[in-house]
């Protein structure tokens, strides 16, 4: 899908040759074919290409001159605008520009697209290659599994193959960056694919099968806790939510192990393969979107895949995905029911549609006890309330530890998945007080994203923990060239980035 070439761009004879140019770039490089430099000069002179962010200029060199550049059917200039002071912004700019290149190439049905890396973009060569690779591949994603006709635009309008030209940067560094970009893109493809799958094709069992497959492929340890074991372990949350479903529940666990002494990071993702609301039934309009209620689980499981391939050395990582459907029926859990979670805490189920927290509670409590992690991050499409607060542009972040929260904000920022931190505190927790159990599963009015997080907090004890509510960003995310409509695959790259940079937490610090 993508490879590196050592040939000069002039020798490329495929469909589309892409150059990324900054606002001030008047010339591509001295070595570049005169024709392209002349074209750039002309385009600038006429004001047709300024190099501003998202500015593009496409032309057919062979049509305008005798001195053809050797065969590229078309040449595309893409503007990078002015270099931002913040490296995270520059990285995102490269992803966006590369995504735009993939889109343009796709519309042309380019079989081969050669992208020449920009040389002086104030990032390490491997970072430049990584971001461009991510942008190209992620922008070329389509989900056409169930389109049976061949001649449909979504199927045709893709780039066949991408080629990178190092643009004068160190080829070894570029190769390293490209390979990493590939690992991430592959994981995000898998995340988007499973999220796109409808609930009848992606059940809790599919989650388990996928985990087993990648554990064999990439050398992870995989364990699946089945229903009978859940009964023995007392996982009343997962079992309760699963009561109305004909599909057996699964608690899928993947382990990435380095050295025993290394700290362990635990990732937990909500794997609700369909959320009808249960007896507290959701309205029909838009209910089909609730096939996406497993995006947190998808992010965790595909992050584990990328981590296994990327092999960070100083950290152990555990991924847990509680997976079930939430359906109604005569066996289903009812409002007012009381469940006993793993570890013994009791919960009054006031609303069966607040099911994500019920299944996560068991996974969190079980994970804390079994793996004694140094830190926990959970991801879940948990509340509509987070969409009311933050829209579709930022993931809601809530945490009991400032350092972990800061690390997540940084990681999200570095990969173009921004978050916004919301508070926690006893005044919110109080909204969840139950008259008959330890806690109830919905709060009184207001602050729904926060009260949901307070519920989860009950099950992590003192362990540093952060919760990402991705209900607004897992699909319908901010429109971007490299993020398609539908599931965005958010979370995967943030988690990999967090883990990659992991060092032990400063244990003296604690808040809320
Ligand atoms: N999966 C939903 C949250 C959700 C809603 C995600 C809309 C994406 C879009 C979750 O299980 C849910 O139903 N939450 C309820 C909680 C409420 C009953 C306290 C909600 O947000 O309405
Ligand atoms: Mn729900
Ligand atoms: Zn849900």
Best probe residue, ligand 1, of 281, 323, 353 (max atoms within 8 Å of C-beta): 353
Minimal CA–CA distance to 266: which of 116, 108, 375, 143?
375
Report the atom number in ligand 1 closest to the C-alpha of 383.
21
> Can you give the residue ranges of every domain in the chain?
2-192, 214-500
Q: Dihedral (C-alpha) 482, 204, 396, 183: value to the nearest 10 degrees? A: -40
Q: Dihedral (C-alpha) 377, 379, 382, 383: value to the nearest 10 degrees? A: 80
Q: Which residues pair with 74 in a beta bridge?
A: 16
SS3 content of the chain, % helix, strand, coil (to 5): 40, 20, 40
How far is CA 285 from each of CA 207, 281, 304, rounded to the nearest angstrom?
Answer: 27, 12, 34
Cα separation, 263 vs 363, whole angstroms: 19
Here the tokens at position 209 are 């099968």
Q: Tens of pLDDT along 275-315?
A: 999 999 999 999 999 999 999 999 999 999 999 999 999 99
CATH number, span 2-192: 3.40.220.10
Ligand approaching nearest to the C-alpha of 292 = 1
Cα separation, 307 vs 25, whole angstroms: 37
Q: Which residues neighbour ligand 2 (ion) by CB within 5 Å? A: 275, 353, 355
Q: Are 433 and 459 in contact (CB under 8 A)?
A: no
Tell the CATH topology of 214-500: Aminopeptidase (3.40.630)
Best probe residue, ligand 1, of 384, 387, 431, 472 (max atoms within 8 Å of C-beta): 384
Q: Tens of pLDDT along 213-226?
A: 999 999 999 999 99
In angstroms, what is the span from residue 11 Cα to ligand 1's centroid?
54
Burial class (CB in 10 A: 0-12, 13-18, 19+), 68: middle
Residue 66's pLDDT is 55
Q: Tens of pLDDT along 22-61?
A: 987 766 765 566 778 888 988 999 999 999 999 999 999 8
Judge whether residue 326 has pLDDT over 80: yes
pTM for the structure as a whole? 0.96
Q: Which residues are catalytic?
A: 282, 357
């Amino acid at each position: 899908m993508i490879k590196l070439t050592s040939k000069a761009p002039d020798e490329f004879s495929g469909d589309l040759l892409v150059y990324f140019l900054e606002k001030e770039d008047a010339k591509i490089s001295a070595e570049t074919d005169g024709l392209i430099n002349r074209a750039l000069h002309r385009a600038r002179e006429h004001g047709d290409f300024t190099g501003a962010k998202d500015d593009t200029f496409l032309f057919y060199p062979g049509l305008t001159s005798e001195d053809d550049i050797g065969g590229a059917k078309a040449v595309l200039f893409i503007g990078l605008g002015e270099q931002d002071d913040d490296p995270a912004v520059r990285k995102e700019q490269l992803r966006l520009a590369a995504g735009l290149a993939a889109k343009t190439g796709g519309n042309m049905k380019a079989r081969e697209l050669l992208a020449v890396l920009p040389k002086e973009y104030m990032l390490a060569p491997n970072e430049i290659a990584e971001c461009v690779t991510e942008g190209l591949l992620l922008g070329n994603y389509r989900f056409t599994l169930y389109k049976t006709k061949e001649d449909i635009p979504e199927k045709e309008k893709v780039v066949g193959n991408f080629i990178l030209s190092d643009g004068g940067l160190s080829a070894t560094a570029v190769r390293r960056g490209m390979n990493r970009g590939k690992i991430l893109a592959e994981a995000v493809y898998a995340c988007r694919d499973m999220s796109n799958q409808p609930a009848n094709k992606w059940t809790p069992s599919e989650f388990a099968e996928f985990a087993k497959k990648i554990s064999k492929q990439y050398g992870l340890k995989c364990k699946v806790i089945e229903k009978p074991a859940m009964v023995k372990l007392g996982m009343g949350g997962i079992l309760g939510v699963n009561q109305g479903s004909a599909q057996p529940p699964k608690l899928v666990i993947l382990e990435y192990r380095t050295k025993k002494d290394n700290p362990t990071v635990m990732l937990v993702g909500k794997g609700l393969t369909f959320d009808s609301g249960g007896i507290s039934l959701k309205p029909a309009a838009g209910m089909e979107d609730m096939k996406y209620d497993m995006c947190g689980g998808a992010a965790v499981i595909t992050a584990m895949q990328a981590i296994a391939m990327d092999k960070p050395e100083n950290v152990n990582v555990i991924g847990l995905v509680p997976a079930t459907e939430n359906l109604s029926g005569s066996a289903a859990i009812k409002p007012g029911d009381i469940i006993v979670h793993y570890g013994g805490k009791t919960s009054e189920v006031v609303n069966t549609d607040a099911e994500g927290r019920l299944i996560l509670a068991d996974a969190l409590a079980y994970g804390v006890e079994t793996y004694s992690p140094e830190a926990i991050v959970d991801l879940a499409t948990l509340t509509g309330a987070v969409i009311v607060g933050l829209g579709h542009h930022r993931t809601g972040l809530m945490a009991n530890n400032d350092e972990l929260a800061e690390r997540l904000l940084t990681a999200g920022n570095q990969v173009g998945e921004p978050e916004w931190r919301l508070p926690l505190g006893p005044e919110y927790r109080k909204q969840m007080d139950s008259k008959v159990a330890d806690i109830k599963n919905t709060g009184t009015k207001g602050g729904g994203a926060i009260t949901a997080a307070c519920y989860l907090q009950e099950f992590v004890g003192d362990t540093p923990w952060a919760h990402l509510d991705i209900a607004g960003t897992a699909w319908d995310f901010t429109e971007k060239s490299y993020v398609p409509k539908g599931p965005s695959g958010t979370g995967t790259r943030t988690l990999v980035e967090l883990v990659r940079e992991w060092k032990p937490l400063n244990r003296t610090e604690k808040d809320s």
